[in-house]
Amino acid sequence: MKRIVSVHLLNDYSGSPKVLMQLLKSWIKNGMDAHLFTSGGRKGFLSDIPKVKNHLFWYRFSSNALIRILNFFLSQFFLMIKLLFFLKKSDVVYINTVLPFGAAIAGKLRGCKIIYHIHETSVKPKIFKNFLFGTAKMTAAKIVFVSEYLLKQESLIKNQELLYNVLESDFTEKADRFRNVEKEIPVVLMICSLKVYKGVDEFLELARKNPSYIFKLVVNATEKEIHEYFKGKEIPKQLIIYPTQTDTHPFYQEAGIILNLSHPDLWVETFGLTILEGMRYGLPAIVAPIGGVTELVEDNKNGFLIDSKNTNELSEKLNYILNNPSVYQSFSEASYEKSLLFSEAYFERKSLQIISNL
């Protein structure tokens, strides 16, 4: 039985641990011995996956940048020591994101085959990015990228693969049941991290410009963090802000359109899983014009590619989609059709091929 040792730094409800959860379920389903090393102390997509053997290592996130970087390097030292005693030469070490470099060093020292699954390009500062991506280049037998854009942007070694993020079958089954529900007042939805570079402020501005629509913002943050971020900011009456949600289906069900307003100069969206989820519900999308998200949204077919700083154009296109029933229907159908390409069957087939062809 092939043993796969997967490693992820911070377990939460964001995109990269969700993808690893899908991989782990696929490996277990196909009779592999799957182990997971991640930091403890919080719930996320990697919590309590049946038949996955869990191993925790210490890491504590801090809002203070200096303490955060110290904690990070300390956590990688502990992880490296733990793995040096745990790994066998025959293991495949599967590193999710570029962050857990301690696993790459331990895997290399133990003579294991190392696979990196890279989700991001916007790692800062540059010296930190060079260190992490340099470690991946030196240690990896294979590197997996989540989009064509990212593969071209960060090409590191010869043995590289493209594995698109996909939707789980239980998500698609639920989405297909509720896809054609009638909506009275258009709801404009954005699901993202609570960061300036994710376009949160532009979403507020858009809500101010369009008082006839309901705006819903779901952020990966606590009520306290939301209060801190929006302190002193004027929040339009028809904008509702929600903390971290474990079930996003109700939001997609009532939405009329989904947005991703990331700032390409600060954060390039390398895939856009929430956009794909919205598309499965037949939602047209407005997204940034750069990055992997452009592989999901075709301009003027199932949405628009617009720079988030241009709130006037965003507002204009928002109204164009929502106020023209024939345009909306055409975009909605195109969104749904596109989402069908990103299936669990494709993901399982391709992910197993990646593991076997080492």
pLDDT in tens, 44-76: 999 999 999 999 999 998 889 899 999 999 999
In this structure, how many other beta carbons lie within 10 angstroms of the beta carbon of residue 130? 11
Q: What pLDDT does 321 receive?
A: 97
* 237 contact partners, CB below 8 Å, separation of at least 6: 211
- pLDDT digit string (tens) for 201-236? 999 999 999 999 999 999 999 999 999 999 999 999
Whole-prediction pTM: 0.85
pLDDT the model gives residue 351: 96
The yes-or-no verdict on residue 5 having pLDDT over 80 is: yes
**How many residues does this entry show for the chain?**
358
Average pLDDT, the chain: 94
Q: Count each helix (H run) and each strand (E run) in the chain, helices first.
A: 13, 13
Please state, in angstroms and as integers, the Cα–Cα distance from residue 22 to each residue in 99, 257, 343, following that order: 19, 26, 12
For the chain, what percent of residues have pLDDT higher than 70? 99
SS3 347: helix
Q: Work out the average pLDDT over 14-35.
A: 95
d(CA 161, CA 140): 12
Mean pLDDT on 29-54: 94
- Residue 307, pLDDT > 90, answer yes
